[in-house]
Amino acid sequence: MENEKNKDFTTNEKHSKKSGKQSKKNIKHNNKTENKNQNKTQKKQRKQKGFKSKKQGGGKMPKEQTVDMKNNQTAKNKTSGKAEQNKKTNRYGKIKPPVKTNPVKISFLGGLNEVGKNMTVYEYEKSMLIVDCGLAFPESDQLGVDFVIPDFSYVERNADKIKGILITHGHEDHIGALCYLLKKINVPVYATLLTAGLIMGKLSEHKLEKTVDVKVINPGEEIYLGDFNVEFIHVNHSIPGAVALAIKCGAGTIIQTGDFKIDTTPIDGEIINLSRFAELGNEGVLCLLSDSTNAEQPGYTQSESKVGETFQSLFSKAGNRRIIIATFASNIHRVQQIIDIASKTGRKVALSGRSLENVTAIASELGYVHIPEGTLIGIDEIKRYNDEQLVIITTGSQGEAMSALSRMASKNHRKVEIGYNDCVIISARPIPGNEKTVYKVINDLLCLGAQVVYEKMYDVHVSGHACQEELKIMLSLVKPKYFIPVHGEQKHLRYHAKLAESIGIPHNNIIIGDNGYEISVSENNIAVSGTVTHGKVYVDGYGVGDVGTRVMRERQHLGTDGIIIIAATIDAASGELVTGPDIVSKGFVYVKEAELLMNEAVKVSMRVIDSFPPYSFDLNAMNTKLRDEISRLMYERTKRNPMILPILLEV
Ligand SMILES: [Zn+2]
Ligand SMILES: [Zn+2]
């Protein structure tokens, strides 16, 4: 794999050595030369395979990557122009005899029947691609776990086939596990500019920024990766730079939408490229994998601009109060709207929360956020301004315990003290499972005298995911032969499958998958063709995967029932008790109040130890018997099952 990689990207490596010195160094631009090189060899291969493709798609990429939206526009126009030509050739050209090809295999390592940890693997001929590599936040019974990442053993086994990792957008459930994967297999990562910027931030935290190759791709561009072509298509979502992927191979075109919505008045002015989806639909799409997060919700998702309108009226209602707004750090469009309204109404903006400061800094450096001069102030400077001159944007919209908003609510924030003259706006919806913590924060803020505005009262939040009507639009434009709903729990996937049937996709052409499924798709068939290794790997501090199901069961046991330790020293030769037994209990009962029970436990322990014949005793057997007897005693007396841990030392 190494050799092949080197050969493919020689030009690119040279390019990187020459270019900048900072962290942006490894964000490599897909320059012309590199593509030419790739094209030469790959075009040849493609011809032999009867590959149906728009020629030179990758060759005509802009020399220089800029943030300028105009540039994106040009790239996009080029693509649509080419597609137009292509369509004509199809219409008037010769009818090609059907080529019998192998199926493309799509395997799911995460993201099905769960929210988060999205990761999909595509395999065709000798090439594999990975789409997204996200994390999931732990469930309440996954004690002490920071987050959960997919099991990578399947991709590790196939490392030599993997041509690249494609990232749809910069949310944690799509990029959060990437560094852990890149520590195991080093392959190039392809993403749009902002996503690449966010990835670079993560890479440097993991000290990978010098070894990993991150390539910036504009929406509208197409890249060649082994037996695949991949086109990036602009979509709307709650973070800029989100794309869908059209993955093309000998078996046909597969579209994976990533997370998306259809926003006709987006903050950055770029509406989802619906015409490109329609063109691909007309050319023929074999299979669609589409975002199911909001498949239960009827109608359309509101535009992000709607939130701006609400903010505007809330700002004027706030009068001379200080305004504090909690939102997701990655929702750059929302941060932009807050900054705009603040600057218009003469308020200064301060940011509180590390992730918010980081993301805003990256987004502003890359041109995704425009901050009028003099608007942004440091959180230390808020003392210098009156309440009516301030807006504080903060993290913690999910009630996360250590977040800035939670600290404000519990009077633990060093810089912000909440009082009667504060208006707090929670500009997010609680992610299912977080409701309790969010409402606790709201109640605490109310107790401190603040006014609190949250989603149920005004439109202070809109979703980043498509609702039913938008999902139907996507399905109707793409007109896929086969459909696999992705990103969502079982109920979301089922709703989405029903929607697909309602617009005419036959029931048998839809598969509701699960993590670990390998689905084979070809012109004639779609079927679950096997399973691949998949699973949950817990990340706890520096430990990755060292906390397994057994450790988790122990934590749960300790957490729910506590522990009793029986310590004693035994004469190694005779087996007689030398000291102890001492009984220590943690999280079970308070020993002083349960003195009788503890005395009884001491007696039982002595009886057990005495019951073994002198000079031929078995320490393991003694351990086991102690555990059983004490366990029985505790259950009889308390109907509880604490963990029993005998520690017998031979002296
Ligand atoms: Zn997302
Ligand atoms: Zn997502």
Domains in the chain and their CATH numbers? 2-93 (no CATH), 104-299+464-533 (3.60.15.10), 305-453 (3.40.50.10710), 548-650 (3.10.20.580)
Q: How many angstroms does the Cα of residue 171 sit away from the middle of ligand 2?
A: 6
- Count the neighbouring beta carbons within 10 Å of the beta carbon of residue 283: 17
Instruction: Place 14 in a pLDDT band, splitting at 50, 70 and 90.
Output: very low
Ligand minimally distant from the alpha carbon of residue 135: 2
For the chain, the farthest-separated pair of C-alpha atoms sits apart, in whole angstroms, at: 98
Q: How much is the mean pLDDT over the chain? A: 84
- Which residues crowd ion ligand 1, with CB under 5 Å? 171, 259
Task: Identify the sign of the CA torsion 119, 121, 127, 129.
Answer: negative
Catalytic residue selected from 465, 492, 496, 534: 465
Token pair 């990978």: residue: 208
Instruction: State percent of the chain over pLDDT 70.
Output: 84
pLDDT at 96: 56
pLDDT at 549: 76
Residue 89 backbone dihedrals phi, psi, to 5 degrees? -60, -40
Q: Show the DSSP H helices in 428-511 as ranges.
A: 435-447, 468-478, 490-502
Known catalytic residue at 291: yes
Q: How many angstroms does the Cα of residue 259 sit away from the middle of ligand 1?
A: 5
Q: Show the DSSP H helices in 185-267 as ranges.
A: 193-205
Known catalytic residue at 465: yes
Q: Which of 238, 407, 425 is nearest to 328 (CA)?
A: 238
Is residue 142 within 8 A of residue 552, CB to CB? The reply is yes
Q: How many angstroms does the Cα of residue 300 sit away from the middle of ligand 2?
A: 18
Catalytic residue selected from 132, 213, 259, 291: 291
pLDDT at 639: 84
Q: How many angstroms does the Cα of residue 229 sit away from the middle of ligand 1?
A: 24
Ligand minimally distant from the alpha carbon of residue 118: 2
Whether the predicted pLDDT of 525 surpasses 90? yes
Q: Which of 183, 232, 208, 178 is nearest to 26 (CA)?
A: 208
Instruction: Place 343 in a pLDDT band, splitting at 50, 70 and 90.
Output: very high
pLDDT at 578: 82
Is residue 376 within 8 A of residue 392, CB to CB? The reply is no
Ligand minimally distant from the alpha carbon of residue 292: 2
pLDDT at 99: 58
- Half-sphere exposure (Cβ direction) of 59: Cα atoms closer than 13 Å: 13
Whether the predicted pLDDT of 581 surpasses 60? yes
Instruction: Place 138 in a pLDDT band, splitting at 50, 70 and 90.
Output: confident
Ligand minimally distant from the alpha carbon of residue 261: 1
Record the pTM.
Answer: 0.78
Q: How many angstroms does the Cα of residue 181 sit away from the middle of ligand 1?
A: 19
Q: How many angstroms does the Cα of residue 626 sit away from the middle of ligand 1?
A: 53
Mean pLDDT of 154-173: 96
By mean pLDDT, which of 79-83, 290-294, 305-309, 418-422 is the weakest?
A: 79-83
- 147-150 sheet: strands from edge to edge: 147-150, 536-540, 543-544
Mean pLDDT of 308-317: 94
Q: Which of 517, 479, 79 is nearest to 290 (CA)?
A: 479
In 3-state terms, the chain is what percent helix, strand and coil (to 5)? 40, 25, 40
By mean pLDDT, which of 494-498, 514-518, 621-625 is the weakest?
A: 621-625
Return the H-helix or E-strand segment holding 584: strand 577-586
Q: How far apart are CA 313 and CA 266, in angstroms?
A: 19
Is residue 188 within 8 A of residue 2, CB to CB? The reply is no
pLDDT at 61: 38
Q: How many angstroms does the Cα of residue 487 sit away from the middle of ligand 1?
A: 10
Whether the predicted pLDDT of 62 surpasses 80? no
Token pair 């082994």: residue: 226
Token pair 């990103």: residue: 487
Q: How many angstroms does the Cα of residue 173 sit away from the middle of ligand 2?
A: 5
Ligand minimally distant from the alpha carbon of residue 492: 2
Burial of 360 from C-beta contacts in 10 A (0-12 / 13-18 / 19+) = buried
**Digit-coded pLDDT (tens) for 412-448:** 999 999 999 999 999 998 887 788 899 999 999 999 9
